[in-house]
Each structure stands twice: as C-alpha cells, then as structure tokens.
Amino acid sequence: MKCQQCDKPAVFHITELEAGEVRELHLCEDHARVYLNQSEAAGGSPEPKPKGGGLTAPLGVGQTADELAALDQKACDMCGITFFEFRNQGRLGCPHDYVHFEKELEPLIANIHGATQHTGRRPSRPAVTGEPLPEGTEPLTAVIGMRTGMKEAIECEDYERAKELRDRIRDTEQRWLDRPTE
Amino acid sequence: MDPSAQMNLETLTNNVGEWLRGTGPESDIVMSSRVRLARNVAQYPFVSRASEQDRAEIEKFLRERIAMVPAGKELQYIDVGHLEEVDRQFLVERQLISRELADAQGARSVAIDGREQVSLMINEEDHLRIQCMHSGLDLKGVWDQIRLVDDQIERAVPYAFHPRWGYLTACPTNVGTGIRVSVMLHLPALVITRQIDKVFRSLHKISLAVRGLYGEGSQAMGDFYQISNQTTLGKTEEELLEQVGDVVPVLIDYERRAREFLVRETQQNVHDQVSRAYGILRTAQTITAEETMQLLSRVRMGVLLGLIGDVDISAINVLLVRTQPAHLQKLRGLELDTKDRNIERARYLRQHFEGNGPKAAAN
Ligand SMILES: [Zn+2]
Ligand SMILES: [Zn+2]
C-alpha cells in the first residue's frame, strides 16, 4: 500500500475516531511524523475537551518510530490482539484488553470522553452461596485464555493439561453462571 | 429461510411500528425517543475477534440466558444471518436493526417485542445491543423500560465490567455506561429558513452528535435529524439522558418559532410549496425514495400548520417507511429493480392519497 500523501510505501496505519466514525490513514514514516506532530499540537490547544478525539494523538507525543513499533507488537494474553491491530481496526479484541493495554488506552479514553472513571450504574451480584462474586468480571474473562490453552494442549497431545484446563473452565463458568435469575 | 422468521416479517410488514405511531408528547416535531445499551458477555472475545464458532456460541448463550428472564419471554427472534438481502434491508428501514448488523458476517440475530419498542441485536459490534424506542418525546419512559430489561438480563448474563472503566465495549467510544440516547426530530422550518447549520454548530459545542435519518453523511433526507450523546464515560446514565433531553425543548421552540415565522411572513409561499409537494405525491407516475421523503416531509409540516386538511400525521409517518425500497417490495410481494420500484412507489402513493386520504393508519 502506498502512502496517501506521496509514493513511498505506507508503514503507518492510523485509525482516527471522529464523532464515532472511524477514519483510516495510511502514511509513510515521514508523513506519519508530520501528521502525529500536528495532532500533538492540536491536542495542546486550550480547547478543554476535543470532540470525537483521536486514537493517535496521545501516541504521537515524544515517541520514536521504534517505540511505536514496540508498542504495536504488544499483544493481549487472552485474545492475542496486538495494539497495532487495534489501532488499525479501531476495535478491541476482548474485555481483558482494557486491563492489558490500560496504560495505552487511558490517554485515548481521556481524549474521547474527557474522563477516566465510570460513574454510572454498576452490576449487583447478590451472594447466594459460597463466596460473593467480585464486581469486575476479569476472573471470568480469564476463561478466554484457558480455552486457547486447552486447544493448544490438545494439539500437542498433552491431554493431562487439557483436562485440567477443561475442569478450570467448567468451575469458573459454574461459579459465575449458576445463579437464580428470577 | 426458517418459516417462523418469515411469519414474523409478514406480521411486521402489515403492522405499524411504535415510532410510526405519530403520538406521544411533542409529536408534531419529535418523531421518536430512543436509548440503546452496548453490552458484552465476559467470557468471550469481542465480535470482531471472535471465531465463527465463538459467534455461534455467543448467540446460543445469549438466547438461552435471555429466555430465562421475564423480559426475554415476550421476544421473537429473527435469524439475521439467514435472511435474504431484501429482508435485512426491511429491518434496517424499520429501524429494528442497524446497517452494520445487516451487513455483518456469521451468526447474528435480532429479538423484537410485539410492540416493536424493544429490540435486542446479537453479534453486532458488541455481543448485545439493547434498544428501546417510543413515539414522541419520552426519554424517561424509554429509560425506565430499557433499564428494567437490562437489569433482568444482567441477572442471567455476566456482562463484562471493570470497576474503573464500567461496561466494557468493543470500541472505546462506547465504554462506561454503553448508553446512546437519541431523539429524532422533524425540523423542516429550520431547514427552509436556513437556520439549521447554526443550530447544529452549537450542538457540537456541547458535545452532542447530529446525523440525518437515512442519509449516510450529514445530509439529512426529508429534514429528519437525530440528536445523540457523544460520550459515555464519566457521567451517569441520568446525566447523559439529561444532556440530550435538555436540548430538545430548545430545538422544539426554535422549530415552532420558525414555523410561525413562515406562516406569518411567507404565508402564500409556504402554502404554495406544501400544496405542490402534496400535488406531486398524488399524481406522480414515477418517483424516487429521496424525493418521496422530501415531499412527505413538506406535507407533514403543511398538515401541522393547518394548510392541508384531509391527511393525518400518523398516515404520513407510515408512508415515510412504507415507501422505502424493501418495504415497497415486501408489500408488493415482488423483487423490483430501481426503475420498477419508482413506478410502484408512485402507484402506492396515488392509491393512498385517493379519495378521503390514506388508510395506512387504519390497521
Ligand atoms: Zn508519505
Ligand atoms: Zn484481549
């Protein structure tokens, strides 16, 4: 793919979120640097809260191409999505990404919403039997990683490990799902 | 296709959906009030990262779990993945599913209640999108209803939640409350008096989004505009409802004043415009969906200004939807190309405006 502003190959694939719409930019290294610097300058304006917000603006600040490249390769240990893939698609891979990429997402979310703490409704999980469930669902999301691990274990014919993971998945799901609904 | 889904679609074709009713507070200007909540199941990857098997499992899990709660027992499911293109388009025109769900891949469905107020989309951008819509301005009524549905489902479905980030969504633009509050307004007088852009620029400043009814971009067809919140994190659901709700009376007031101005200052002119629009709708031999919507919009305003006497508002609302391409084909029971649709649309309109006016509201 060519850079959208010259004939050099596009190495930066930037996703901008504006008013909920996703806009994609494909730029060579030079044009990407120009673009990111512009975003940075724009982000420093006295406007209290930019509307829409950009996915890249917080990433451009003082980061070298190498640092960006390293960050792009960071992958979620549950669903496997890389930060690069997220930036490209504008969609996260699983609930754990909000924990795994928390540091990277924080400035981005602040930019979009002008806030970094939820203040709305929260789930109520009445304790029925045994230990009450936590408010956050991280322990249940861990099942995504266990399922991948189980598949891998089966492929390696490590049936002992596969069986252990299967039991852990079943126990976790039971703990979260066997609740009265009425 | 699954015969029960076909039956559901036939029923929908012959019914009038909730937001078409043309009733409710301020319904001369406010078409509908809507709230949607984005939710995900904690133990699966988000839709764009989910394998085909994951998507099928998510769909099955949600259907089974939602069926356990009272709100879930009144729903009819339509398997969107196995629908024909025209039927998917039909549900989009009806505002029961999004274009994104219609065009997506793999296992996906929509569940609709009998009154077409509540719809649940499964495997759209998020695992679950709950939508509730009422006719006229009724954000409180919508919120009370959707909150109940959401609470019930949450007892059976562990929604992905993080103490700091709130309800977790596939796109960070929806994280936190996952709520989108929107109100659809009919603003023809603000368009005619060229004040609409000014109004929208001021809405953007208070971080509200504006988009047209069917138009892809900013160009609204038939002077219908949707106002909604842009942010979802850091404010409570009630605060976000207020953010949208507070601006609506102001817009209603602007539109009313613009309508009064038109009648007072340009009486003949506006009467002429409205009458010509009505005349074309009653006599045209071929007509596009865009022109139809534009003319119906003007006639709708004319009726509300007392310039046209023998038409009622809900009938116009119904025509706005039934003259859309997929509705027209479903009503006719035939697949039609663009040229034939334009002929059929004109025929349908003539038939409805014949004699003592449209009968569309009568079913
Ligand atoms: Zn370039
Ligand atoms: Zn992940």
pLDDT digits (tens, 9 = 90+) for B4-20: 555 577 778 777 777 67
- Give the per-residue pLDDT at A34: 67
Looking at chain B, which residue has its C-alpha nearest residue A102? B165
SS3 assignment, position B30: strand
Q: Is residue B205 part of a domain?
A: no
Q: Which run of H or E residues covers position B109?
A: strand B109-113
Centroid of ligand 1 to alpha carbon of A50 (angstroms): 26
Closest CB from A79, A93, A109 relative to B175: A109
Beta bridge partners of B162: B166
Assess whether B25 and B129 both reside in one domain.
yes
Confidence band of B355 (pLDDT split at 50, 70, 90) = low
Closest CB from A114, A119, A136 relative to B162: A136
Final residue belonging to a domain, choices B141, B176, B211:
B176
**C-beta separation of A176 from A133 below 8 A:** yes
Q: In chain A, what residues touch B171 (CB-CB under 8 Å)? A: 17, 90-92
Assess whether B119 and B267 both reside in one domain.
no
- Give the per-residue pLDDT at A178: 80
Instruction: Mark yes or no for CB contact A79/B207 under 8 Å.
Output: no
Looking at chain B, which residue has its C-alpha nearest residue A86? B171
Whether the full predicted model's pTM is greater than 0.80, yes or no, is: yes
Q: Is residue B34 part of a domain?
A: yes
Q: In chain B, what residues touch A79 (CB-CB under 8 Å)? A: 45-46, 49
Query: Between B313-322 and B325-332, two packed helices, what is the crossing angle to 10 degrees?
Result: 90
Final residue belonging to a domain, choices B143, B176, B209:
B176
Looking at chain A, which residue has its C-alpha nearest residue B228? A19
Q: Is residue B183 part of a domain?
A: no
Q: In chain B, what residues touch A92 (CB-CB under 8 Å)? A: 46, 49, 170-172
Assess whether B14 and B135 both reside in one domain.
yes
Average of per-residue pLDDT values in chain B: 89
**C-beta separation of B341 from B20 below 8 A:** no
Q: Is residue B130 part of a domain?
A: yes
Assess whether B158 and B268 both reside in one domain.
no
In whole angstroms, what is the distance from residue B157 CA to residue A140 CA? 12
Assess whether B38 and B132 both reside in one domain.
yes
The mean pLDDT of A33-58, rounded to a whole number, is 45
Instruction: Mark yes or no for CB contact B175/A181 under 8 Å.
Output: no
In chain B, how many domains are there? Answer: 2
Q: Which residues form the domain of B29?
A: 3-176
Q: In chain B, what residues touch A140 (CB-CB under 8 Å)? A: 42-43, 158
Which range, of A106-120, B45-59, B175-189, B255-269, averages the lowest pLDDT? B255-269
Distance (Å) from the alpha carbon of B179 to chain A's nearest alpha carbon: 10
Final residue belonging to a domain, choices B145, B176, B207:
B176
CATH of the domain at B25: 3.30.590.10
In whole angstroms, what is the distance from residue A33 CA to residue B125 CA? 31
Distance (Å) from the alpha carbon of B20 to chain A's nearest alpha carbon: 27
Q: Is residue B234 part of a domain?
A: no
The mean pLDDT of B238-246, rounded to a whole number, is 96
Task: Give whole-number Cα distances, B17 to A171, B14, B42, in Å.
Answer: 44, 10, 33
In whole angstroms, what is the distance from residue B105 CA to residue B77 CA? 18
The per-residue pLDDT for range A78-129, each reduced to its tens digit, is: 999 999 999 989 999 999 999 999 999 999 999 999 999 999 999 988 766 6
Instruction: Mark yes or no for CB contact A123/B159 under 8 Å.
Output: yes
Q: Is residue B100 part of a domain?
A: yes
Q: Is residue B210 part of a domain?
A: no
In whole angstroms, what is the distance from residue B160 CA to residue B176 CA? 11
For residue B232, give the nearest of B307, B282, B163, B176 by alpha carbon. B176
Assess whether B274 and B125 both reside in one domain.
no
- The one-letter amino acid code at B78 reads I
Among B84-93, B139-148, B257-266, B348-357, top mean pLDDT goes to B139-148
Confidence band of A71 (pLDDT split at 50, 70, 90) = confident
Assess whether B39 and B171 both reside in one domain.
yes
Q: Is residue B363 part of a domain?
A: no
Specify the residue for token string 């989309």. B121
Beta bridge partners of B133: B34
Task: Give whole-number Cα distances, B110 to A39, A100, B10, B62, B81, in Å.
Answer: 40, 32, 16, 11, 10
The mean pLDDT of A65-73, rounded to a whole number, is 78
Beta bridge partners of B109: B79, B122
The tokens for B71 are 């709100």
- Give the per-residue pLDDT at A63: 62
Assess whether B171 and B264 both reside in one domain.
no
Distance (Å) from the alpha carbon of B61 to chain A's nearest alpha carbon: 11
Closest CB from B44, B45, B163 relative to A136: B163
Q: What does the H/E/C string look like for A78-115?
A: CCCCEHHHHHHHCCCCCCCHHHHCHHHHHHHHHHHHCC
In whole angstroms, what is the distance from residue B50 CA to residue B63 CA? 17
- Give the per-residue pLDDT at A68: 74
Which of 106-165 (A) contact B at CB < 8 A? 108-109, 112-123, 135-138, 140-141, 143-144
**C-beta separation of B109 from B80 below 8 A:** yes
Q: What is the DSSP letter of B27?
A: T
Assess whether B152 and B279 both reside in one domain.
no
Q: In chain B, what residues touch A122 (CB-CB under 8 Å)? A: 161, 163, 166
- Give the per-residue pLDDT at B7: 54
Assess whether B59 and B161 both reside in one domain.
yes
Distance (Å) from the alpha carbon of B66 to chain A's nearest alpha carbon: 10
